[in-house]
Structure formats: structure tokens, C-alpha cells
Amino acid sequence: MQPGQMAYDRGITVFSPDGRLFQVEYAREAVKKGTTTIGLKFKDGVILLVDKHVSSRLVEPESIEKIYNIDEFIGCATSGLVADARVLVDEARKNAQNHKLTYNENITVEGLVKKVCDYKQYFTQYGGGRPFGTALLVAGADDLGIHLFETDPSGALVAYKAGCIGSGRPVVLDVFEKEYKDDMTLDEAMALGLKALAAATDDKPTPQTMEAGIVTVNKPFRRFTDDEISAFIGKE
């Protein structure tokens, strides 16, 4: 960083002369250092895959949670600071519950993601806090179809057919650009996701080193069991 720019990286409410918010950029760097997190739309739904990055054999793999249920038909996977992600997941759950109690209907996936992104954006505009150092891949199904959204520390959101956040993003997106198809079956989507995850981590995924979740148009969001993940890995 240039000496003249150092004053601008200390406050989240101050733009640098070239139009940058350095604290937001630093939050994005935290996401880039996070675990590789993948989302894929297939013919009937959306799958999420996450590298759990178990750093020591002394760690209980079950204690590392990267995929969360938000609402009946909405789930998410995270990359970046885990504690920040937990706060955002709680915020998303409260918004989904409040909408259900107020309107007696499930919130739309895009509506929920926009509320979470509004919450994230607040912490880039006012003093006394800092941006969230985490990004979410939100998968869900509603009356409008199936959806996969990525949220950014700035509060921006983008809809994807196939997306990735975390340290393996460049490698995973390169695989997806070459091999992703719109009408894939679940087996084909899982095979592609596992291939991309293996390429990004330089290691073959196992049920102990990854998590996976799924939502379809007529079945609620849920996590795959270890046996289901093993079965998909065995099909490769």
C-alpha cells in the first residue's frame, strides 16, 4: 500500500481518492483464504459441497460445520471467518421466521438473500463496526424455481448456475467453465463438484474431509450423510 493510502484503510466509512474501501477489500481477502465452497445447479435442484479443511488428526471432523439450514427449502455454505458466518446465518434464520409469522408463507430465496446482503452492507457504511469477513453460497427452491446466490462482504449478491468461494475459487471456476452443463442429473453434478473440489484441494475428498447438502423443487434442504457421500465418491 502506498504511504498516502494508509489513512484510508483505518476507517470503513472513508473512500480512498481512487474510490476504494480498503476494509471491504480486506474482508474479501479473508474469504479468499477460507475453505473451498462449491455450489452447483442441476436439473432438479442445487447441491453444495465444502472442504472442511481438518487441520489436525486431533480435531473431531463432526465439530466443523460449514453447511447450515436456514429455512425449510433454503440452506447455505460459508467460507471465511466462521464466527462471522454464524452471525449471518442467525440473521438469515430470523428473517425467514419473521416473514413466515407475518405473511404465513415462506420467504423467497432472493428476498432472503437481499435481506442478508442489506445487513452486510450496513457494516460497510457506518462506523463502530467492520465488514463481515465471510461470504455465503445460498441454495434454495421456491415457487419461482431453484436458486444459487453468492453474497459478498460488501453486501453485493450474484446469482450463479455454478459458483465457488474460498481459496480454491480460480481452480474450481476453471473446471466449471469447461465442463458445466445446464441439464445435469444429480449424479453428474456431484461427479463434477467432487472433481472440482479435488482439483482445488489437491486431494481426493472423503466423507471426513467434506460436507455436502442438497435442495430440490419438492424436497427440503438437507445434508448428505457420510454413506451417501461415500456412494457418490465410489461412482467416480
Query: Residues with catalytic annotation?
Result: 35
Classify residue 196 as exposed, middle or buried by CB count within 10 Å of its CB (0-12, 13-18, 19+).
buried
Q: Among all chains, which residue has been given the C-alpha cell 450474484?
A: 158
Calculate ∠ Cα 100-104-105, nearest 5°.
Answer: 70
Interatomic CA distance for residues 43 and 183, integer angstroms: 5
* Spatial separation of the C-alpha atoms in residues 159 and 110, rounded to whole Å: 9
Angle CA 165–167–173, to nearest 5: 55
